[in-house]
Amino acid sequence: MSSSATTGLEVRSGSRPLRDAVELISSMRFAITLLTVICIASVIGTVIRQHEPFVNYVNQFGPFWAEVFGAVGMYSIYSAWWFLLILAFLVISTSLCIARNTPKVLHDLKTYKEHIREQSLQAFHHKTSGELAEGHEAALARVTQLMQRNGWKAKAQVRQDGDAVRGVMVAARKGGANRIGYLAAHAAIVLICLGGLFDGDLVVRAQMWLAGKEPYTGGGFIADVPEKHRLSLANPTFRGNLLVPEGARSNVVLLNQSDGVLLQPLPFDIELKKFIVEYYETGMPKLFASEIVIHDHETGQAVPATVKVNEPAFHRGVAIYQSSFDDGGSKLRLRAYPMNHRGEAFDVSGTVGSATTLSGGDEKYTLELAGLRVINVENLGTPQDATDVRKVNLVDSLQQHLGSGAKAPGERTLRNVGPSVTYRLRDASGQAREFHNYMLPVELDGQRVFLAGVRENLAEPFRYLRIPADDSDSIDTWMRLHAALQDPALRERAITRYVAKAIDGDKPELAQQLTISARRGLNLFAGAEPVEPGGPLTGGLQALADFMQANVPEADRARTSDVLIRILNGVLYELTQMTREAAGLPPLPGDEKTQAFMTQAVLSLSDAGLYPAPLLLQLQDFEHVQASVFQVARAPGKYLVYLGCLLLVIGVFAMLYVRERRLWIWLQPAGAGRTRLTAALSSTRKTLDTDREFESLKAALLPAVPAEEAAR
């Protein structure tokens, strides 16, 4: 781009401010500034994930900066008004630059500059002169033949002095494509920006501004959405997402906007016949593809097609890309276990994406089934602290992305841990927590445990409660123990059984003291007795620790704690055996496996008091229904972008690798059948190639000239 060209486009208004404005807009410094801003904005758009829910940005930046960044369009940079305005100004700037310089470029391509004075040739860097031992006409014929043989386009001007010929100026040029490359590169920028503007949401925004279209922010069925939220079938450009479950069909694309969605109908239906997904051993998808049938509304034809990643299908100028996959409404059956010690366990059925009302004691909760994942390949090779499940997120990978297949550093032991379900429990005030529970037990640190995850919001990782699996790989033994721990009568029976077995007729005078200690420890652990009179009910191992700190001298705490924990473990073991007897199950054997189960059961019971929900739902069975997420786009501007990219390649290649050169040869009769030759070469760039080319021309033009005369 040129900032100082004075030929070409002229402003004839006579207005100095207008001329200055045009000069500024069409200048190189203005265009470079715009390109710099676009590059910075593109970097921001890459770093900040676009079109995320606003709550995600609040969690990331805080309420104040989230509002500020949202106001300037940081969450949808490529469709922000200021970004589109910058693109528009870049188009105008580059177009004006082309308009100003094209006439000059075309004029230079047509002219040979044969009117140059012969004395001016001495001012060039590459020049030579000498005498030829041949006549004027013979020299001109030889020079003409030399120019044609070397690809020079030449024009001769005969200069006379009266009736006599004073000499002939031969003007030649080569490499004019360099100038064409300049125009091609600048035209490419215009075409690419126009294609980007057209295939962006500028057309959609224009319909919102001029046709009264509004984003839809509600819920419900697509058929019930009012017309003002729907775009026309004739909409020339759009890009959005379409979710189609297996066995279903759809023809309405959702165009995400910052404050809702717009609905774009298609002239055909997309039916998903089958979704195919294959996984690497890491659990990451290796291949996912969709076998679809396109039902054309106008012709009634059913066109089968297969859509894969980077292999879209096309119909009526609309491209159908495989974007991702999701749940298409899988049918779930779950078992709801009370965690607030009220009521019996019961079954719940529903489909992913649906909601139902549950009773959690005195309160009503809305259960929202958010997702089903049938394959979870996780890295289970990193040991974790087994003493506090509140700090355990399975392994490092689970701490960040449980169910995502992400890998943790260190030794990797990849294993499919089975299906998992994600759901939300929403209370009467509308507050919700998200839960993520595994269907099958997972072996961690040598113990098979069920994982029940919970988090307060999307910005947090899941925290997992480890519930030990019994000899039948079931959660039922622990759940019965959890319920029995809150029954005072069962606690007393368990204490009596424990004391009877511990004393066994030996030192009966210790029975009363052991009973008191066992009762105190069990009641503290169950949260049925405060640490201090009148204090709050806490429960768990923390209650025992607080009791020791408040009532036992520091020197005796370690010994007393060890005794109290052994008593607690013994009573809980008896309580477990009692619940199994009541369920008609054989007692647990007194082996190491049972000991490991009881150790984990005590830890889980301790942390269960912190579980922030009245119900724990475990997945029992499911009918998996998959869905494909297609990105559907009509993008006619892509052809402008393709053409612009082609011109950009041609232009850059021409400007970098093609050198424009001009050559002037002055032939002047010297008498006695001799001719005086003076030659000069001009090039847009001084390179070693130019030096070698001129030396070759000198040798061809002055073959018989002595060296001392040729190099002046």
Banded model confidence at residue 414, pLDDT cuts 50, 70, 90: low
SS3 579: helix
Return the pLDDT at 380.
61
Residues 6+ apart with CB under 8 A from 657: none
Alpha-carbon 626 to chain mean position: 22
Question: Which tens digit of pLDDT belongs to each residue from 548-575?
Answer: 888 888 888 888 889 999 999 999 999 9
Return the pLDDT at 382.
46
Residues 6+ apart with CB under 8 A from 23: 3
Section 337-352 average pLDDT: 87
Residues 6+ apart with CB under 8 A from 452: 435, 437, 438, 464, 465, 467, 611, 616, 618
Section 326-331 average pLDDT: 89
CA dist 206 → 123, 180, 211, 213 (Å): 59, 36, 8, 9
Section 89-107 average pLDDT: 88
Token pair in block for residue 158: 């005969």
Residue with tokens 């721990």, as numbered in its chain: 485
CA–CA separation, 556 vs 562, rounded Å?
Answer: 10
Return the pLDDT at 672.
82
Question: Which tens digit of pLDDT belongs to each residue from 130-186?
Answer: 989 888 889 999 999 999 998 899 999 999 887 788 899 999 999 888 888 889 999
Section 407-426 average pLDDT: 73
Q: Which has the minimum average pLDDT: 47-61, 145-159, 488-502?
A: 47-61
Q: Which has the minimum average pLDDT: 24-33, 109-118, 168-177, 700-709?
A: 700-709
Geometric angle at alpha carbon 163, from 157 and 169, rounded to 5°: 15
Helices (H), ranges, 438-487 = 476-484
Return the pLDDT at 46.
83
DSSP assignment of 114-167:
TT--GGGGGGSSEEEEEEESS-HHHHHHHHHHHHHHTT-EEEEEEEEETTEEEE
Q: Which of 529, 567, 568, 571 is nearest to 546 (CA)?
A: 529
Q: Sign (positive/negative) of CA torsion 414, 416, 417, 422?
A: positive
Single-letter amino acid code for the residue at 527: G
Return the pLDDT at 409.
44
Is pLDDT above 50 for 605?
yes
CA–CA separation, 493 vs 509, rounded Å?
Answer: 20
Residues 6+ apart with CB under 8 A from 259: 215, 217
- 356 forms bridges with which residues in the sheet? 367
Asked whether the beta carbons of 195 and 639 are under 8 A apart, the reply is yes
CA–CA separation, 584 vs 476, rounded Å?
Answer: 13
CA–CA separation, 594 vs 592, rounded Å?
Answer: 5
**Predicted TM-score of the model (pTM):** 0.65
Is pLDDT above 80 for 458?
no
Banded model confidence at residue 663, pLDDT cuts 50, 70, 90: very high
Question: Which tens digit of pLDDT belongs to each residue from 64-95?
Answer: 888 888 888 888 887 788 888 888 888 898 99
Question: Which tens digit of pLDDT belongs to each residue from 292-317?
Answer: 999 999 999 999 999 998 899 999 99
Q: Which helix (H) or strand (E) holds 622?
A: strand 615-623
Question: Which tens digit of pLDDT belongs to each residue from 256-280?
Answer: 877 788 999 999 999 999 998 887 7
Asked whether the beta carbons of 205 and 88 are under 8 A apart, the reply is no
CA torsion angle 69 74 75 80 (round to 10):
120
Asked whether the beta carbons of 190 and 181 are under 8 A apart, the reply is no
Is pLDDT above 50 for 399?
no
Return the pLDDT at 20.
79
Is pLDDT above 90 for 533?
no
Q: Which helix (H) or strand (E) holds 709?
A: helix 707-710
CA–CA separation, 678 vs 118, rounded Å?
Answer: 8
Banded model confidence at residue 395, pLDDT cuts 50, 70, 90: very low
Residues 6+ apart with CB under 8 A from 417: 376, 377, 378, 380, 438, 440, 442
Is pLDDT above 80 for 366?
yes
Is pLDDT above 80 for 376?
no
Instruction: State the chain's mean pLDDT as an integer.
Output: 85
Return the pLDDT at 712.
44
More confident residue, 547 or 378: 547
Residues 6+ apart with CB under 8 A from 46: none
